[in-house]
Amino acid sequence: MIQSKSFYRSLEKVFAGAGRVKVRERFAQRIAPALLEALRAPLGLTAVHVYERRKGGFTPAKPFGAKRADLGADLARRFASTGDDRIAELPWVGDIGPERVGLIAVDGVDGPLLALFGPARGALEKGPSRGEFASALTSVLYAMRQHLEKSELRDLIEQARAIQLSLLPDPCCVFPGFDIHAGSYAASSVGGDLYDFLPVAPGTMGLAVADASGHGLPAALQARDVAVGLRMGVERDLKIVSAIEKLNRVIHRSGLTSRFISLFFGELESNGNFSYVNAGHPPALVLDKNGVRELSAGGIVLGPDPGAKFKLGYTHVDRGATLVLYSDGVIERGTTWGEPFGMGKLKKWLKETRRLPAREAVDALMTRLDEHSPKKPFEDDVTVMVVRRLA
Protein backbone atom coordinates (compact mmCIF):
# COMPACT_ATOMS: atom_id res chain seq x y z
CA MET A 1 0.00 0.00 0.00
CA ILE A 2 1.20 3.52 -0.81
CA GLN A 3 1.63 5.70 2.26
CA SER A 4 -0.39 8.70 1.12
CA LYS A 5 1.08 11.36 3.41
CA SER A 6 4.72 10.57 2.65
CA PHE A 7 3.91 10.12 -1.06
CA TYR A 8 2.33 13.56 -1.38
CA ARG A 9 5.06 15.20 0.65
CA SER A 10 7.63 13.70 -1.71
CA LEU A 11 5.60 14.98 -4.65
CA GLU A 12 5.44 18.49 -3.18
CA LYS A 13 9.21 18.57 -2.83
CA VAL A 14 9.67 17.51 -6.44
CA PHE A 15 7.64 20.38 -7.84
CA ALA A 16 8.77 22.90 -5.25
CA GLY A 17 12.24 22.50 -6.71
CA ALA A 18 11.18 22.14 -10.34
CA GLY A 19 11.78 25.78 -11.26
CA ARG A 20 10.32 27.79 -14.11
CA VAL A 21 9.01 26.14 -17.27
CA LYS A 22 10.35 27.68 -20.48
CA VAL A 23 10.86 24.70 -22.79
CA ARG A 24 8.69 21.62 -22.17
CA GLU A 25 11.33 19.15 -23.32
CA ARG A 26 13.91 20.60 -20.97
CA PHE A 27 11.38 20.64 -18.17
CA ALA A 28 10.59 16.95 -18.78
CA GLN A 29 14.27 16.05 -18.61
CA ARG A 30 14.68 18.12 -15.45
CA ILE A 31 11.71 16.61 -13.68
CA ALA A 32 12.38 12.96 -14.66
CA PRO A 33 15.30 12.25 -12.28
CA ALA A 34 13.51 14.09 -9.46
CA LEU A 35 10.44 11.87 -9.91
CA LEU A 36 12.61 8.77 -9.99
CA GLU A 37 14.29 9.71 -6.74
CA ALA A 38 11.09 10.71 -4.97
CA LEU A 39 8.94 7.79 -6.15
CA ARG A 40 11.53 5.01 -6.12
CA ALA A 41 10.42 3.80 -2.70
CA PRO A 42 6.62 4.36 -2.74
CA LEU A 43 6.10 3.05 -6.32
CA GLY A 44 9.11 0.78 -6.71
CA LEU A 45 10.31 2.78 -9.73
CA THR A 46 13.48 1.56 -11.42
CA ALA A 47 13.66 4.07 -14.28
CA VAL A 48 12.04 7.13 -15.84
CA HIS A 49 12.49 7.69 -19.57
CA VAL A 50 11.63 10.82 -21.52
CA TYR A 51 10.14 10.45 -25.01
CA GLU A 52 9.96 13.50 -27.26
CA ARG A 53 7.60 13.80 -30.22
CA ARG A 54 9.38 13.93 -33.55
CA LYS A 55 7.42 13.89 -36.85
CA GLY A 56 4.56 11.82 -35.50
CA GLY A 57 6.80 9.39 -33.63
CA PHE A 58 8.50 9.23 -30.26
CA THR A 59 12.25 9.56 -29.84
CA PRO A 60 13.83 8.51 -26.54
CA ALA A 61 15.87 11.20 -24.80
CA LYS A 62 18.40 10.47 -22.07
CA PRO A 63 17.10 7.67 -19.78
CA PHE A 64 17.23 8.08 -16.01
CA GLY A 65 17.76 5.08 -13.78
CA ALA A 66 18.12 1.59 -15.18
CA LYS A 67 18.23 1.13 -18.95
CA ARG A 68 15.06 -0.26 -20.42
CA ALA A 69 13.81 -1.22 -23.86
CA ASP A 70 12.99 1.60 -26.29
CA LEU A 71 9.21 2.09 -26.23
CA GLY A 72 9.20 4.55 -29.13
CA ALA A 73 7.73 2.15 -31.69
CA ASP A 74 5.13 0.86 -29.20
CA LEU A 75 4.07 4.42 -28.33
CA ALA A 76 3.78 5.34 -32.01
CA ARG A 77 1.51 2.34 -32.66
CA ARG A 78 -0.57 3.09 -29.58
CA PHE A 79 -1.28 6.71 -30.51
CA ALA A 80 -1.66 5.94 -34.19
CA SER A 81 -4.49 3.54 -33.33
CA THR A 82 -6.24 5.78 -30.81
CA GLY A 83 -5.55 9.23 -32.23
CA ASP A 84 -3.95 12.17 -30.45
CA ASP A 85 -7.31 13.20 -29.03
CA ARG A 86 -7.15 10.19 -26.77
CA ILE A 87 -3.97 11.37 -25.12
CA ALA A 88 -6.16 13.17 -22.59
CA GLU A 89 -6.90 9.73 -21.13
CA LEU A 90 -3.37 9.49 -19.81
CA PRO A 91 -1.99 8.39 -17.43
CA TRP A 92 -1.96 4.83 -18.80
CA VAL A 93 -0.67 1.86 -16.84
CA GLY A 94 0.11 -1.50 -18.38
CA ASP A 95 2.57 -4.37 -18.54
CA ILE A 96 5.23 -4.18 -21.24
CA GLY A 97 7.52 -7.19 -21.20
CA PRO A 98 8.40 -8.19 -17.65
CA GLU A 99 7.69 -4.78 -16.16
CA ARG A 100 4.81 -2.54 -15.29
CA VAL A 101 4.96 0.82 -17.04
CA GLY A 102 3.05 4.05 -16.54
CA LEU A 103 2.79 6.84 -19.11
CA ILE A 104 2.05 10.52 -18.46
CA ALA A 105 2.10 13.49 -20.84
CA VAL A 106 3.83 16.77 -20.15
CA ASP A 107 1.72 19.79 -21.05
CA GLY A 108 -0.62 18.84 -23.87
CA VAL A 109 -0.99 16.53 -26.83
CA ASP A 110 2.17 17.72 -28.56
CA GLY A 111 4.40 17.60 -25.50
CA PRO A 112 6.87 14.94 -24.38
CA LEU A 113 5.86 11.74 -22.57
CA LEU A 114 7.33 10.30 -19.40
CA ALA A 115 7.53 6.50 -19.08
CA LEU A 116 7.79 5.41 -15.45
CA PHE A 117 9.04 1.83 -15.11
CA GLY A 118 7.85 -0.04 -12.04
CA PRO A 119 9.19 -3.21 -10.46
CA ALA A 120 9.84 -6.38 -12.51
CA ARG A 121 7.02 -8.89 -12.86
CA GLY A 122 8.49 -11.20 -10.21
CA ALA A 123 8.45 -8.35 -7.73
CA LEU A 124 4.99 -7.01 -8.56
CA GLU A 125 3.44 -8.61 -5.53
CA LYS A 126 5.69 -6.40 -3.40
CA GLY A 127 4.83 -3.23 -5.30
CA PRO A 128 1.61 -1.27 -5.69
CA SER A 129 -1.31 -2.74 -7.55
CA ARG A 130 -2.14 -1.52 -11.03
CA GLY A 131 -4.96 0.60 -9.58
CA GLU A 132 -2.67 2.15 -6.97
CA PHE A 133 -0.02 2.81 -9.61
CA ALA A 134 -2.58 4.50 -11.87
CA SER A 135 -3.93 6.57 -8.96
CA ALA A 136 -0.43 7.66 -8.01
CA LEU A 137 0.34 8.69 -11.59
CA THR A 138 -2.91 10.67 -11.71
CA SER A 139 -1.66 12.62 -8.70
CA VAL A 140 1.71 13.16 -10.40
CA LEU A 141 -0.02 14.43 -13.54
CA TYR A 142 -2.27 16.75 -11.53
CA ALA A 143 0.70 18.20 -9.61
CA MET A 144 2.60 18.66 -12.87
CA ARG A 145 -0.28 20.50 -14.52
CA GLN A 146 -0.67 22.74 -11.49
CA HIS A 147 3.02 23.59 -11.66
CA LEU A 148 2.82 24.33 -15.38
CA GLU A 149 -0.21 26.58 -14.93
CA LYS A 150 1.44 28.47 -12.07
CA SER A 151 4.57 28.90 -14.14
CA GLU A 152 2.52 30.27 -17.03
CA LEU A 153 0.71 32.64 -14.65
CA ARG A 154 4.02 33.86 -13.25
CA ASP A 155 5.19 34.57 -16.78
CA LEU A 156 2.04 36.59 -17.46
CA ILE A 157 2.50 38.54 -14.23
CA GLU A 158 6.11 39.25 -15.12
CA GLN A 159 4.97 40.54 -18.49
CA ALA A 160 2.38 42.74 -16.77
CA ARG A 161 5.03 43.97 -14.35
CA ALA A 162 7.31 44.84 -17.26
CA ILE A 163 4.47 46.77 -18.91
CA GLN A 164 3.72 48.59 -15.68
CA LEU A 165 7.35 49.53 -15.05
CA SER A 166 7.63 50.79 -18.61
CA LEU A 167 4.86 53.29 -17.83
CA LEU A 168 6.68 54.75 -14.84
CA PRO A 169 9.09 57.53 -15.75
CA ASP A 170 12.52 57.97 -14.23
CA PRO A 171 11.97 58.76 -10.53
CA CYS A 172 14.00 61.95 -10.88
CA CYS A 173 12.16 64.70 -12.76
CA VAL A 174 14.21 67.52 -14.28
CA PHE A 175 12.32 70.81 -13.94
CA PRO A 176 14.38 74.01 -13.55
CA GLY A 177 14.08 75.61 -10.13
CA PHE A 178 12.79 72.42 -8.47
CA ASP A 179 14.14 69.21 -6.95
CA ILE A 180 11.64 66.42 -7.73
CA HIS A 181 11.89 62.72 -6.92
CA ALA A 182 9.32 59.91 -6.69
CA GLY A 183 9.19 56.28 -5.62
CA SER A 184 6.61 53.50 -6.02
CA TYR A 185 6.73 50.17 -4.20
CA ALA A 186 4.25 47.36 -4.96
CA ALA A 187 2.71 45.26 -2.20
CA SER A 188 2.68 42.24 -4.55
CA SER A 189 4.40 41.30 -7.80
CA VAL A 190 2.39 43.90 -9.69
CA GLY A 191 1.06 47.08 -8.15
CA GLY A 192 -1.87 49.39 -8.77
CA ASP A 193 -0.12 52.67 -7.90
CA LEU A 194 1.18 55.08 -10.47
CA TYR A 195 3.16 58.31 -10.61
CA ASP A 196 3.90 60.38 -13.68
CA PHE A 197 5.59 63.58 -14.87
CA LEU A 198 3.91 65.19 -17.88
CA PRO A 199 5.51 68.18 -19.64
CA VAL A 200 2.50 70.36 -20.45
CA ALA A 201 4.18 73.42 -21.95
CA PRO A 202 7.47 75.28 -21.56
CA GLY A 203 7.68 76.20 -17.89
CA THR A 204 4.79 73.91 -16.85
CA MET A 205 5.08 70.35 -15.53
CA GLY A 206 2.15 67.99 -14.89
CA LEU A 207 2.42 65.89 -11.70
CA ALA A 208 0.25 62.82 -11.08
CA VAL A 209 -0.17 60.09 -8.47
CA ALA A 210 -2.94 57.51 -8.90
CA ASP A 211 -4.08 54.49 -6.90
CA ALA A 212 -6.35 51.74 -8.26
CA SER A 213 -8.47 49.94 -5.66
CA GLY A 214 -6.76 46.80 -4.42
CA HIS A 215 -3.45 45.68 -5.84
CA GLY A 216 -2.09 43.02 -8.14
CA LEU A 217 -2.77 42.45 -11.84
CA PRO A 218 -6.33 43.93 -12.13
CA ALA A 219 -5.25 47.10 -10.33
CA ALA A 220 -2.14 47.38 -12.50
CA LEU A 221 -4.17 47.13 -15.69
CA GLN A 222 -6.50 49.89 -14.53
CA ALA A 223 -3.56 52.09 -13.52
CA ARG A 224 -2.17 51.57 -17.02
CA ASP A 225 -5.44 52.83 -18.55
CA VAL A 226 -5.27 55.96 -16.39
CA ALA A 227 -1.66 56.64 -17.38
CA VAL A 228 -2.42 56.37 -21.08
CA GLY A 229 -5.65 58.40 -20.82
CA LEU A 230 -4.04 61.15 -18.78
CA ARG A 231 -1.12 61.51 -21.18
CA MET A 232 -3.49 61.71 -24.14
CA GLY A 233 -5.60 64.35 -22.39
CA VAL A 234 -2.59 66.50 -21.53
CA GLU A 235 -1.16 66.18 -25.03
CA ARG A 236 -4.39 67.47 -26.53
CA ASP A 237 -4.20 70.63 -24.41
CA LEU A 238 -7.45 69.98 -22.58
CA LYS A 239 -8.11 72.02 -19.48
CA ILE A 240 -7.39 70.09 -16.28
CA VAL A 241 -11.03 69.67 -15.24
CA SER A 242 -12.13 68.69 -18.76
CA ALA A 243 -9.32 66.13 -19.01
CA ILE A 244 -10.20 64.55 -15.64
CA GLU A 245 -13.94 64.42 -16.41
CA LYS A 246 -13.28 62.78 -19.79
CA LEU A 247 -10.91 60.27 -18.18
CA ASN A 248 -13.61 59.47 -15.61
CA ARG A 249 -16.08 58.65 -18.38
CA VAL A 250 -13.55 56.45 -20.17
CA ILE A 251 -12.84 54.48 -16.99
CA HIS A 252 -16.55 54.07 -16.32
CA ARG A 253 -17.13 52.69 -19.82
CA SER A 254 -14.37 50.12 -19.33
CA GLY A 255 -16.91 48.00 -17.44
CA LEU A 256 -14.87 47.73 -14.25
CA THR A 257 -17.39 49.76 -12.29
CA SER A 258 -16.94 47.53 -9.23
CA ARG A 259 -13.41 48.94 -9.06
CA PHE A 260 -12.28 52.54 -8.85
CA ILE A 261 -9.15 54.62 -9.00
CA SER A 262 -8.19 57.75 -7.12
CA LEU A 263 -6.05 60.41 -8.76
CA PHE A 264 -4.25 63.58 -7.80
CA PHE A 265 -3.18 65.61 -10.83
CA GLY A 266 -1.80 69.11 -10.96
CA GLU A 267 0.12 71.47 -13.21
CA LEU A 268 3.12 73.19 -11.63
CA GLU A 269 4.45 76.38 -13.21
CA SER A 270 8.05 77.53 -12.88
CA ASN A 271 6.89 80.56 -10.85
CA GLY A 272 5.36 78.28 -8.21
CA ASN A 273 1.70 78.50 -9.25
CA PHE A 274 0.01 75.13 -8.87
CA SER A 275 -3.48 74.23 -10.15
CA TYR A 276 -4.82 70.76 -9.39
CA VAL A 277 -7.74 68.31 -9.17
CA ASN A 278 -7.98 65.80 -6.35
CA ALA A 279 -10.23 62.93 -7.50
CA GLY A 280 -10.89 61.03 -4.28
CA HIS A 281 -7.19 60.84 -3.43
CA PRO A 282 -5.47 61.54 -0.09
CA PRO A 283 -4.79 65.29 0.05
CA ALA A 284 -1.40 66.45 -1.18
CA LEU A 285 0.61 68.42 1.38
CA VAL A 286 2.40 71.74 1.07
CA LEU A 287 4.96 72.74 3.70
CA ASP A 288 6.11 76.36 3.81
CA LYS A 289 6.90 79.00 6.42
CA ASN A 290 3.23 79.06 7.48
CA GLY A 291 3.12 75.33 8.26
CA VAL A 292 1.46 72.41 6.48
CA ARG A 293 -1.72 72.70 4.43
CA GLU A 294 -3.74 70.04 2.64
CA LEU A 295 -4.90 70.15 -0.99
CA SER A 296 -8.34 68.53 -1.23
CA ALA A 297 -10.28 70.41 -3.92
CA GLY A 298 -11.64 68.14 -6.66
CA GLY A 299 -14.30 65.46 -6.40
CA ILE A 300 -14.98 61.73 -6.06
CA VAL A 301 -12.88 58.81 -7.26
CA LEU A 302 -12.81 57.99 -10.97
CA GLY A 303 -15.05 55.28 -12.39
CA PRO A 304 -18.32 54.82 -10.47
CA ASP A 305 -20.18 57.96 -11.68
CA PRO A 306 -19.75 58.92 -15.36
CA GLY A 307 -21.40 62.28 -14.73
CA ALA A 308 -19.21 63.32 -11.82
CA LYS A 309 -18.06 66.96 -11.77
CA PHE A 310 -14.71 68.13 -10.46
CA LYS A 311 -13.47 71.43 -9.09
CA LEU A 312 -10.11 73.03 -9.77
CA GLY A 313 -7.93 73.97 -6.80
CA TYR A 314 -5.16 76.56 -6.65
CA THR A 315 -2.16 77.12 -4.42
CA HIS A 316 1.36 78.52 -4.58
CA VAL A 317 4.61 76.74 -3.85
CA ASP A 318 6.93 79.39 -2.41
CA ARG A 319 10.71 79.28 -2.66
CA GLY A 320 12.00 76.76 -0.13
CA ALA A 321 8.56 75.12 0.19
CA THR A 322 7.79 71.42 -0.37
CA LEU A 323 4.88 69.74 -2.14
CA VAL A 324 4.21 66.05 -1.42
CA LEU A 325 1.91 63.68 -3.34
CA TYR A 326 1.36 60.14 -2.01
CA SER A 327 -0.96 57.14 -2.06
CA ASP A 328 -3.02 55.89 0.88
CA GLY A 329 -0.63 52.96 1.31
CA VAL A 330 1.61 55.45 3.13
CA ILE A 331 -0.80 56.63 5.81
CA GLU A 332 -2.46 53.20 6.14
CA ARG A 333 0.79 51.36 6.69
CA GLY A 334 0.46 49.12 9.77
CA THR A 335 -3.35 49.08 9.84
CA THR A 336 -3.42 45.28 9.67
CA TRP A 337 -0.93 44.90 12.50
CA GLY A 338 -2.11 47.68 14.81
CA GLU A 339 -2.07 51.49 14.60
CA PRO A 340 -1.68 53.02 11.12
CA PHE A 341 1.24 55.28 10.23
CA GLY A 342 -1.29 58.07 9.81
CA MET A 343 -1.26 61.68 8.72
CA GLY A 344 0.43 62.83 11.92
CA LYS A 345 3.61 60.84 11.30
CA LEU A 346 3.57 61.79 7.63
CA LYS A 347 3.53 65.50 8.50
CA LYS A 348 6.25 64.92 11.10
CA TRP A 349 8.43 63.26 8.44
CA LEU A 350 7.74 66.17 6.08
CA LYS A 351 8.90 68.74 8.63
CA GLU A 352 11.94 66.80 9.82
CA THR A 353 13.24 66.16 6.29
CA ARG A 354 12.49 69.59 4.83
CA ARG A 355 16.19 70.33 4.26
CA LEU A 356 17.07 66.98 2.67
CA PRO A 357 17.26 66.49 -1.10
CA ALA A 358 14.03 65.06 -2.50
CA ARG A 359 15.53 61.62 -3.12
CA GLU A 360 16.85 61.33 0.43
CA ALA A 361 13.47 62.41 1.79
CA VAL A 362 11.73 59.64 -0.17
CA ASP A 363 14.22 57.08 1.15
CA ALA A 364 13.74 58.37 4.69
CA LEU A 365 9.98 57.92 4.43
CA MET A 366 10.37 54.30 3.29
CA THR A 367 12.69 53.66 6.25
CA ARG A 368 10.11 55.08 8.66
CA LEU A 369 7.35 52.95 7.10
CA ASP A 370 9.49 49.85 7.59
CA GLU A 371 10.24 50.81 11.19
CA HIS A 372 6.55 51.43 11.90
CA SER A 373 5.74 47.73 11.29
CA PRO A 374 9.07 45.90 11.49
CA LYS A 375 9.41 42.75 9.35
CA LYS A 376 5.80 43.02 8.17
CA PRO A 377 4.83 43.03 4.48
CA PHE A 378 3.21 46.10 2.98
CA GLU A 379 -0.57 45.86 3.06
CA ASP A 380 -0.97 48.11 0.04
CA ASP A 381 1.12 49.70 -2.66
CA VAL A 382 3.11 52.74 -1.56
CA THR A 383 3.88 55.76 -3.76
CA VAL A 384 5.31 59.14 -2.80
CA MET A 385 6.47 62.18 -4.79
CA VAL A 386 8.50 64.97 -3.20
CA VAL A 387 8.63 68.35 -4.98
CA ARG A 388 10.93 70.99 -3.47
CA ARG A 389 11.14 74.51 -4.84
CA LEU A 390 14.74 75.60 -4.54
CA ALA A 391 15.46 78.61 -2.35
DSSP 232-298: HHHHTT--HHHHHHHHHHHHHHTT-TTS-EEEEEEEEETTSEEEEEEESPPPEEEEETTEEEEE--E
The per-residue pLDDT for range 272-327, each reduced to its tens digit, is: 999 999 999 999 999 999 999 999 999 999 988 999 999 999 999 999 999 999 99
Please count the other Cβ atoms lying within 10 Å of the Cβ belonging to residue 274.
21
Beta bridge partners of 47: 65, 117
* Phi, psi torsion values for 341, nearest 5 degrees: -60, -45
pLDDT band, residue 135 (cuts 50/70/90): confident
Pairing of strands 298-299, 273-279: parallel
Band (pLDDT 50/70/90 cuts) for residue 104 is: confident
Q: Give me the pLDDT at residue 108, please.
A: 63
Q: Which residue has the higher pLDDT, 347 or 237?
A: 347
| Residue 208 phi, psi (nearest 5) | -140, 140
Domains 4-159 and 168-389 share a fold: no
Q: pLDDT band at 87, cuts 50/70/90? A: very low
Q: Select the CATH number that applies to the domain covering 4-159 from these four: 3.30.450.40, 3.30.310.50, 2.40.37.10, 3.20.20.220.
A: 3.30.450.40
- In CATH, 168-389 is 3.60.40.10: yes
- The pLDDT value recorded for residue 82 is 57
Amino acid letter, 38: A
Hey, where are the domains in the chain? 4-159, 168-389
Lowest mean pLDDT among 214-218, 264-268, 286-290, 370-374: 214-218
How confident is the model over 222-233, as pLDDT tens digits?
A: 777 788 888 887
